[in-house]
Amino acid sequence: MSELKELQDLVSQVRRDIVRMVHKVNSGHPGGSLGCTEFMVALYNETMELKESFDMNGRDEDLFFLSNGHISPLFYSVLARRGYFPVEELQTFRLLNSRLQGHPATHEGLPGVRIASGSLGQGMSVAIGAALAKKLNKDEHLVYSLHGDGELQEGQNWEAIMYAAGNKVDNLIATIDHNGQQIDGATSDVLPMGDLKKKFEAFGWDTLEIKNGNNLEEIIQGLKEAKQRTGKGKPVCIIMDTVMGHGVDFMMYTHAWHGKAPNDQQLEIALSQNPETLGDY
Protein backbone atom coordinates (compact mmCIF):
# COMPACT_ATOMS: atom_id res chain seq x y z
CA MET A 1 0.00 0.00 0.00
CA SER A 2 1.58 3.26 -1.05
CA GLU A 3 -1.07 5.63 -2.39
CA LEU A 4 -1.57 8.53 0.02
CA LYS A 5 -5.36 8.37 -0.36
CA GLU A 6 -5.36 4.68 0.56
CA LEU A 7 -3.28 5.40 3.64
CA GLN A 8 -5.57 8.26 4.65
CA ASP A 9 -8.60 5.99 4.27
CA LEU A 10 -6.88 3.45 6.50
CA VAL A 11 -6.18 6.15 9.10
CA SER A 12 -9.91 6.93 9.19
CA GLN A 13 -10.81 3.26 9.57
CA VAL A 14 -8.25 2.69 12.33
CA ARG A 15 -9.68 5.65 14.26
CA ARG A 16 -13.11 4.05 14.01
CA ASP A 17 -11.66 0.80 15.33
CA ILE A 18 -10.06 2.60 18.28
CA VAL A 19 -13.18 4.38 19.53
CA ARG A 20 -15.40 1.34 18.97
CA MET A 21 -13.04 -0.98 20.84
CA VAL A 22 -12.74 1.32 23.85
CA HIS A 23 -16.46 2.10 23.88
CA LYS A 24 -17.51 -1.54 23.81
CA VAL A 25 -15.76 -2.42 27.08
CA ASN A 26 -15.91 1.09 28.59
CA SER A 27 -12.17 0.86 29.15
CA GLY A 28 -8.94 1.74 27.38
CA HIS A 29 -6.83 4.63 26.16
CA PRO A 30 -8.20 6.49 23.12
CA GLY A 31 -6.30 9.79 23.42
CA GLY A 32 -2.76 8.68 22.65
CA SER A 33 -4.01 6.02 20.24
CA LEU A 34 -5.79 8.60 18.10
CA GLY A 35 -2.81 10.96 18.22
CA CYS A 36 -0.38 8.36 16.84
CA THR A 37 -2.66 6.85 14.19
CA GLU A 38 -1.00 8.44 11.18
CA PHE A 39 2.43 7.40 12.42
CA MET A 40 1.53 3.75 12.96
CA VAL A 41 -0.36 3.46 9.67
CA ALA A 42 2.59 4.93 7.77
CA LEU A 43 5.13 2.81 9.65
CA TYR A 44 3.43 -0.52 8.97
CA ASN A 45 2.12 0.18 5.49
CA GLU A 46 4.79 2.39 3.93
CA THR A 47 8.07 2.37 5.85
CA MET A 48 8.96 -0.99 7.39
CA GLU A 49 10.19 -4.00 5.45
CA LEU A 50 8.11 -6.90 6.75
CA LYS A 51 7.71 -10.59 6.05
CA GLU A 52 4.40 -11.92 4.77
CA SER A 53 3.85 -13.96 7.94
CA PHE A 54 4.81 -13.23 11.53
CA ASP A 55 8.09 -14.69 12.76
CA MET A 56 8.89 -14.15 16.44
CA ASN A 57 12.64 -14.31 15.73
CA GLY A 58 12.32 -11.30 13.47
CA ARG A 59 15.32 -12.07 11.29
CA ASP A 60 15.61 -10.47 7.86
CA GLU A 61 12.86 -7.93 8.48
CA ASP A 62 12.38 -4.64 10.31
CA LEU A 63 11.11 -4.80 13.90
CA PHE A 64 8.84 -2.52 15.90
CA PHE A 65 8.48 -2.22 19.67
CA LEU A 66 5.63 -0.29 21.30
CA SER A 67 6.94 1.05 24.59
CA ASN A 68 3.88 3.11 25.58
CA GLY A 69 1.75 -0.03 25.56
CA HIS A 70 -1.43 1.63 26.80
CA ILE A 71 -2.13 2.76 23.21
CA SER A 72 -2.82 -0.88 22.41
CA PRO A 73 -6.14 -0.15 20.59
CA LEU A 74 -4.12 1.55 17.86
CA PHE A 75 -1.51 -1.21 17.77
CA TYR A 76 -4.11 -3.96 17.51
CA SER A 77 -6.09 -2.20 14.80
CA VAL A 78 -3.01 -1.56 12.65
CA LEU A 79 -1.82 -5.15 13.06
CA ALA A 80 -5.24 -6.55 12.17
CA ARG A 81 -5.69 -4.27 9.18
CA ARG A 82 -2.19 -5.29 8.01
CA GLY A 83 -3.25 -8.94 8.11
CA TYR A 84 -1.52 -10.24 11.23
CA PHE A 85 -4.80 -11.62 12.61
CA PRO A 86 -8.51 -11.40 11.68
CA VAL A 87 -10.09 -7.95 11.95
CA GLU A 88 -13.07 -9.59 13.69
CA GLU A 89 -10.83 -10.38 16.66
CA LEU A 90 -10.83 -6.67 17.52
CA GLN A 91 -14.26 -7.36 19.04
CA THR A 92 -12.52 -9.23 21.88
CA PHE A 93 -10.47 -6.23 23.09
CA ARG A 94 -9.98 -6.32 26.88
CA LEU A 95 -12.37 -9.26 27.36
CA LEU A 96 -11.48 -12.18 29.61
CA ASN A 97 -9.21 -14.73 27.90
CA SER A 98 -8.72 -12.42 24.90
CA ARG A 99 -5.39 -12.22 23.11
CA LEU A 100 -6.02 -8.46 22.90
CA GLN A 101 -5.30 -7.45 26.47
CA GLY A 102 -5.37 -3.88 27.72
CA HIS A 103 -1.60 -3.80 27.38
CA PRO A 104 0.04 -6.01 24.73
CA ALA A 105 1.29 -9.34 26.05
CA THR A 106 3.03 -12.33 24.50
CA HIS A 107 1.81 -15.39 26.41
CA GLU A 108 -1.23 -15.85 24.14
CA GLY A 109 0.90 -15.64 21.00
CA LEU A 110 -0.79 -12.70 19.30
CA PRO A 111 0.97 -12.22 15.93
CA GLY A 112 2.84 -8.92 15.71
CA VAL A 113 3.44 -8.56 19.45
CA ARG A 114 7.05 -9.29 20.42
CA ILE A 115 7.14 -8.04 24.03
CA ALA A 116 4.75 -7.36 26.87
CA SER A 117 4.62 -3.59 27.15
CA GLY A 118 2.89 -1.00 29.27
CA SER A 119 5.33 -0.87 32.16
CA LEU A 120 6.57 2.49 30.98
CA GLY A 121 10.24 3.22 30.49
CA GLN A 122 11.35 -0.24 29.42
CA GLY A 123 10.79 -0.28 25.67
CA MET A 124 13.95 1.65 24.83
CA SER A 125 16.10 -1.01 26.51
CA VAL A 126 14.33 -3.81 24.63
CA ALA A 127 14.63 -2.03 21.28
CA ILE A 128 18.36 -1.52 21.85
CA GLY A 129 18.79 -5.21 22.66
CA ALA A 130 16.97 -6.20 19.47
CA ALA A 131 19.10 -3.80 17.44
CA LEU A 132 22.29 -5.27 18.90
CA ALA A 133 21.03 -8.78 18.10
CA LYS A 134 20.58 -7.75 14.47
CA LYS A 135 24.16 -6.53 14.39
CA LEU A 136 25.39 -9.85 15.82
CA ASN A 137 23.35 -11.73 13.22
CA LYS A 138 24.64 -9.45 10.43
CA ASP A 139 21.04 -8.54 9.69
CA GLU A 140 20.95 -5.10 8.07
CA HIS A 141 17.28 -4.46 8.81
CA LEU A 142 16.24 -1.76 11.27
CA VAL A 143 14.54 -1.60 14.66
CA TYR A 144 11.83 1.00 15.27
CA SER A 145 10.25 1.96 18.59
CA LEU A 146 7.61 4.38 19.88
CA HIS A 147 7.64 6.12 23.26
CA GLY A 148 5.45 8.65 25.04
CA ASP A 149 6.94 11.99 26.06
CA GLY A 150 5.68 11.59 29.63
CA GLU A 151 7.26 8.15 29.61
CA LEU A 152 10.68 9.80 29.36
CA GLN A 153 10.24 10.89 32.98
CA GLU A 154 11.27 7.30 33.79
CA GLY A 155 14.99 7.18 34.53
CA GLN A 156 15.68 3.84 32.85
CA ASN A 157 15.15 5.55 29.49
CA TRP A 158 18.13 7.81 29.95
CA GLU A 159 20.46 4.98 30.93
CA ALA A 160 19.40 3.19 27.75
CA ILE A 161 19.68 6.34 25.64
CA MET A 162 23.23 6.86 26.92
CA TYR A 163 24.07 3.19 26.29
CA ALA A 164 22.79 3.26 22.69
CA ALA A 165 24.95 6.21 21.75
CA GLY A 166 27.98 4.89 23.62
CA ASN A 167 27.75 1.59 21.77
CA LYS A 168 26.92 3.11 18.35
CA VAL A 169 23.57 1.34 18.00
CA ASP A 170 22.98 3.00 14.64
CA ASN A 171 20.32 0.60 13.35
CA LEU A 172 17.69 1.96 15.77
CA ILE A 173 15.06 4.65 15.09
CA ALA A 174 13.19 5.68 18.25
CA THR A 175 10.19 7.99 17.87
CA ILE A 176 8.89 10.15 20.72
CA ASP A 177 5.17 10.96 20.68
CA HIS A 178 5.46 14.58 21.81
CA ASN A 179 1.86 15.53 22.62
CA GLY A 180 2.55 17.33 25.89
CA GLN A 181 -0.05 15.30 27.81
CA GLN A 182 -0.01 12.47 30.32
CA ILE A 183 -2.53 10.81 32.62
CA ASP A 184 -2.41 13.51 35.33
CA GLY A 185 -2.26 16.57 33.09
CA ALA A 186 0.16 18.44 30.87
CA THR A 187 3.72 17.14 31.00
CA SER A 188 4.85 20.72 31.61
CA ASP A 189 2.81 20.74 34.83
CA VAL A 190 3.61 17.22 36.05
CA LEU A 191 7.35 17.28 35.29
CA PRO A 192 8.67 19.61 32.56
CA MET A 193 10.76 17.73 30.01
CA GLY A 194 12.61 20.71 28.57
CA ASP A 195 14.00 20.59 25.04
CA LEU A 196 13.91 16.89 24.12
CA LYS A 197 15.76 17.41 20.85
CA LYS A 198 18.70 19.05 22.63
CA LYS A 199 18.60 16.36 25.33
CA PHE A 200 18.89 13.51 22.83
CA GLU A 201 21.61 15.35 20.92
CA ALA A 202 23.51 15.90 24.17
CA PHE A 203 23.30 12.14 24.79
CA GLY A 204 24.88 11.50 21.39
CA TRP A 205 21.85 10.75 19.19
CA ASP A 206 21.16 12.01 15.67
CA THR A 207 17.83 13.76 16.18
CA LEU A 208 15.22 15.15 13.81
CA GLU A 209 11.75 16.58 14.24
CA ILE A 210 8.36 16.00 12.62
CA LYS A 211 6.47 19.19 13.36
CA ASN A 212 3.06 17.84 12.35
CA GLY A 213 2.82 14.24 13.47
CA ASN A 214 -0.78 14.08 12.27
CA ASN A 215 0.15 14.72 8.65
CA LEU A 216 0.86 11.56 6.67
CA GLU A 217 3.13 13.18 4.13
CA GLU A 218 5.32 14.74 6.84
CA ILE A 219 5.52 11.44 8.70
CA ILE A 220 6.47 9.45 5.61
CA GLN A 221 9.13 11.99 4.71
CA GLY A 222 10.42 12.12 8.30
CA LEU A 223 10.71 8.34 8.50
CA LYS A 224 12.48 8.27 5.14
CA GLU A 225 14.98 10.87 6.35
CA ALA A 226 15.51 8.99 9.62
CA LYS A 227 16.21 5.79 7.69
CA GLN A 228 18.81 7.60 5.59
CA ARG A 229 20.60 8.65 8.79
CA THR A 230 21.04 5.10 10.10
CA GLY A 231 24.32 3.23 9.78
CA LYS A 232 26.43 6.29 10.51
CA GLY A 233 27.53 5.57 14.05
CA LYS A 234 24.63 7.10 15.97
CA PRO A 235 21.15 5.93 17.00
CA VAL A 236 18.40 8.05 15.46
CA CYS A 237 15.57 9.79 17.31
CA ILE A 238 12.45 11.40 15.87
CA ILE A 239 10.67 14.00 18.02
CA MET A 240 7.13 13.89 16.62
CA ASP A 241 4.66 16.61 17.62
CA THR A 242 1.13 15.21 17.76
CA VAL A 243 -2.26 16.19 19.19
CA MET A 244 -3.74 13.80 21.72
CA GLY A 245 -7.16 12.65 20.55
CA HIS A 246 -6.58 13.88 17.00
CA GLY A 247 -9.46 13.15 14.63
CA VAL A 248 -12.17 13.37 17.30
CA ASP A 249 -12.72 17.05 18.07
CA PHE A 250 -13.95 16.74 21.67
CA MET A 251 -10.97 14.55 22.63
CA MET A 252 -8.26 16.85 21.29
CA TYR A 253 -5.74 18.96 23.24
CA THR A 254 -6.53 17.52 26.66
CA HIS A 255 -5.34 14.75 28.95
CA ALA A 256 -8.98 14.05 29.91
CA TRP A 257 -9.23 11.32 27.25
CA HIS A 258 -5.95 9.62 28.10
CA GLY A 259 -7.82 6.68 29.62
CA LYS A 260 -11.54 7.41 29.25
CA ALA A 261 -14.10 5.68 27.03
CA PRO A 262 -16.78 7.53 25.04
CA ASN A 263 -20.46 6.97 25.84
CA ASP A 264 -22.99 6.00 23.17
CA GLN A 265 -23.64 9.55 22.00
CA GLN A 266 -19.96 10.44 21.98
CA LEU A 267 -19.18 7.31 19.98
CA GLU A 268 -21.62 8.32 17.25
CA ILE A 269 -20.04 11.78 17.06
CA ALA A 270 -16.56 10.25 16.83
CA LEU A 271 -17.64 7.82 14.09
CA SER A 272 -19.30 10.61 12.11
CA GLN A 273 -16.00 12.48 12.04
CA ASN A 274 -14.18 9.43 10.65
CA PRO A 275 -15.93 7.91 7.63
CA GLU A 276 -15.93 4.13 7.23
CA THR A 277 -13.61 3.09 4.42
CA LEU A 278 -12.69 -0.59 4.70
CA GLY A 279 -15.59 -2.03 6.67
CA ASP A 280 -16.04 -2.13 10.43
CA TYR A 281 -15.46 -5.39 12.22
pLDDT tens-digit profile of 201-241? 999 999 999 999 999 999 999 999 999 999 999 999 999 99
For residue 239, what are the β-bridge partners? 176, 209
Residue 10 lies in a domain: yes
Residue 244 domain-assigned? Answer: yes
From the centroid of its chain, how far is CA 118? 12
Question: Quick check: 173 and 236 in contact, CB under 8 A?
Answer: yes
Distance separating alpha carbons of residues 126 and 229, to the nearest angstrom: 21
In CATH, what number is assigned to the domain containing residue 192? 3.40.50.970
Q: In the prediction, which pLDDT does 172 show?
A: 99
Q: What is the mean pLDDT of the chain?
A: 96
Per the CB < 8 A criterion, the answer to whether 103 and 70 are in contact is yes
pLDDT tens, residue by residue, 27-76? 999 999 999 999 999 999 999 999 989 999 999 999 999 999 999 999 99
In a domain, 217, yes or no: yes
- How many domains does the chain contain in total? 1
Structural domain includes residue 277: no
The structure's pTM equals: 0.96
Residue 82 lies in a domain: yes
Q: What distance in Å separates the CA atoms of residue 70 and residue 264, rounded to the nearest whole number?
A: 22
| Dist CA 163 CA 66 (whole Å) | 19
122-162 pLDDT per residue, tens:
999 999 999 999 999 999 999 999 999 999 999 999 999 99
List Cβ neighbours of 176 (8 Å cut-off, separation of 6 or more): 147, 148, 149, 152, 196, 237, 238, 239, 240
Residue 2's pLDDT band (cuts 50, 70, 90) = low
